[in-house]
Amino acid sequence: MSRTEPAWYRDGLPHIWLPYCQMKTSPPPLAVTATDGSRITLADGRELIDGVAAWWTACHGYNHPHIRDAAQAQLARMPHVMFGGSVHEPALTLAKRLSDLLPGDLERVFYTDSGSVSVEVALKMGIQYRLNRGEADRRKFVAFRGGYHGDTLAATAICDPEEGMHHLFGGIMPEQFILDLPRDEESRAGFETFIADHAAEITAVITEPLVQGAGGMLFHDPDVLRCLRDICDRHGILLILDEIFTGFGRTGTMFACEQAGITPDIICLSKALTGGTMALAATVARRHVFDAFLSDDPEHALMHGPTFMANPLACACANASLDLFGREPRLDQVAALSARMSEGLETCRALPGVRDVRVMGAIGVVEMEKISDPAALRARFAEHGAWIRPFRNIIYLTPAFTIAPDDLTFLMQTIREVISEMA
Ligand SMILES: *Cc1c(COP(=O)(O)O)cnc(C)c1O
């Protein structure tokens, strides 16, 4: 990199603070100059094949012309206007389309600009729902080990305690109930007993449906979600599904909750909402949740409102992304990807150090016994021409649904090669 290091890289890098990164010891970040489809171009002229789709967002590949055109048209008309007291076409069109796509009466859309904040809003909806109904003692949330819901403090409090680094932030986060996901009969009985004992304190249960992503790409059956829905119903508890990762086709259906045939009371969407183009998130509530906020008391209104709420550019990109889901065979592409990853990654199972191989939808996972240095491994993948970002003991692919078969084959071959080199 150093020979061809551009001036902006050399001059700017000393002023940048990178995410989740020990900057003393990590390999330097790659200098990216362009993206296209499933390709990332680096400043030194190299091209990487992308296995991550920009942290699971770029489901149609980078720079899709339809989304780009929509953004350009919106940019010329109105890049932004405040949402406090005014509304605009891209936001209302998107709200109607999301309500039509989502199951049941999930029909009230509250926009924010990141997944974490959409989770914060879901939590506030839960708290104020209780206050407005005169149930002020029900202020606690139930979440699950292995879960990830974002990096803001209230979201961190409902992450897996280890993954969320609760030992670092103890004392400044709200204390919540973090339980094991009830995966079998026995744990279901235990879970229901806990819920029954604490129902008077509990606002809502929150989980990622079918896949706990950042917590380790852990899969569970649709049955688990049906069980949660059932227990929540019987104890008058709200069910919040965080579909920030799973939404928009990633698990094989438009939304993961469809596979369980359930409707949560509140759903959080972000990541692939704009096809990876702009920052946007939505917290969508069912009618009965929204209705609890209607009152003559101004304090019963939802107390949240980000400055860049419902940014028109972002909403235009999201509408364009939904156009693509409507007119291109995205879910078929996910099914094809799934089949190819199941076959291609399975060959990793026999390699040394591999603990498990699993695939759901367009998520392919090779779980290792241990990865001693994920950042170094990421650099190794890049040397091979692949953009793959291992974390903890997980190597995974979440490619664009449009990735070319040869590119996917290359990524899977590279994983095999690098694992073999590691041994
Ligand atoms: C990424 C993610 C978040 C946080 O979204 P940000 O946009 O990074 O704040 C929350 N929940 C899940 C399930 C996620 O995958």
Looking at the structure, tell me whether residues 239 and 173 fall in a common domain. yes
Residues carrying an active site annotation: 20, 148, 242, 271
Mutate to test the pocket of ligand 1, among 52, 56, 57, 148 (most ligand atoms within 8 A of CB): 148
The verdict on residue 189 lying in a domain is yes
Looking at the structure, tell me whether residues 295 and 347 fall in a common domain. no
Looking at the structure, tell me whether residues 339 and 305 fall in a common domain. no
Q: What does the pLDDT read at residue 218?
A: 98
Beta bridge partners, 174, equal none
Looking at the structure, tell me whether residues 136 and 252 fall in a common domain. yes
Range(s) of the domain holding residue 360: 7-60+329-422
pTM beyond 0.95: yes
Looking at the structure, tell me whether residues 362 and 290 fall in a common domain. no
Ligand 1 center to 155 CA (angstroms): 9
Ligand 1 center to 271 CA (angstroms): 7
Q: How many whole angstroms separate alpha carbon 63 and alpha carbon 78?
A: 21
Q: What does the pLDDT read at residue 170?
A: 82
Q: Are 237 and 204 in contact (CB under 8 A)?
A: yes
Interval 150-201: pLDDT, tens: 999 999 999 999 888 888 888 888 899 999 999 999 999 999 999 999 999 9
Ligand 1 center to 150 CA (angstroms): 5
Looking at the structure, tell me whether residues 286 and 362 fall in a common domain. no
pLDDT in tens, the chain (423 residues): 455 799 999 999 999 999 999 999 999 999 999 999 999 999 999 999 999 999 999 999 999 999 999 999 999 999 999 999 999 999 999 999 999 999 999 999 999 999 999 999 999 999 999 999 999 999 999 999 999 999 999 999 999 998 888 888 888 888 999 999 999 999 999 999 999 999 999 999 999 999 999 999 999 999 999 999 999 999 999 999 999 999 999 999 999 999 999 999 999 999 999 999 999 999 999 999 999 999 999 999 999 999 999 999 999 999 999 999 999 999 999 999 999 999 999 999 999 999 999 999 999 999 999 999 999 999 999 999 999 999 999 999 999 999 999 999 999 999 999 999 988
Ligand 1 center to 160 CA (angstroms): 14
Ligand 1 center to 279 CA (angstroms): 11
Looking at the structure, tell me whether residues 93 and 138 fall in a common domain. yes
In this structure, the residue with its CA closest to atom 5 of ligand 1 is: 115
Ligand 1 center to 352 CA (angstroms): 32
Looking at the structure, tell me whether residues 380 and 260 fall in a common domain. no
C-beta of 144 in contact with ligand 1 (< 6 A): no
Between helix 405-422 and helix 330-346 the angle, nearest 10°, is 30
Nearest atom in ligand 1 to the alpha carbon of residue 279 is 7
Mutate to test the pocket of ligand 1, among 245, 257, 280, 391 (most ligand atoms within 8 A of CB): 245
Amino acid identity of residue 102, one-letter, is L
Looking at the structure, tell me whether residues 338 and 199 fall in a common domain. no
Nearest atom in ligand 1 to the alpha carbon of residue 213 is 15
Q: What does the pLDDT read at residue 40?
A: 98
Distant-in-sequence, close-in-space partners of 250: CB < 8 Å, separation ≥ 6: 56, 59, 211, 256, 272, 334, 361, 362, 363, 398
Mutate to test the pocket of ligand 1, among 112, 116, 267 (most ligand atoms within 8 A of CB): 116
Specify the CATH number for the domain of residue 293: 3.40.640.10
Looking at 290, 308, 327, the residue that finishes a domain is 327
The verdict on residue 389 lying in a domain is yes
Beta bridge partners, 365, equal 358, 396
Nearest atom in ligand 1 to the alpha carbon of residue 281 is 7
Number of domains in the chain: 2
Q: What does the pLDDT read at residue 1?
A: 46
Interval 356-414: pLDDT, tens: 999 999 999 999 999 999 999 999 999 999 999 999 999 999 999 999 999 999 999 99
C-beta of 113 in contact with ligand 1 (< 6 A): no
C-beta of 156 in contact with ligand 1 (< 6 A): no
Looking at the structure, tell me whether residues 322 and 354 fall in a common domain. no
Looking at the structure, tell me whether residues 47 and 165 fall in a common domain. no
C-beta of 245 in contact with ligand 1 (< 6 A): yes
Q: What does the pLDDT read at residue 301?
A: 98
Q: How far is CA 30 from the centre of its chain?
A: 23
Looking at the structure, tell me whether residues 185 and 315 fall in a common domain. yes
If you compute the radius of gyration of the chain from its CA atoms, what whole number of angstroms results? 22
Amino acid identity of residue 39, one-letter, is R
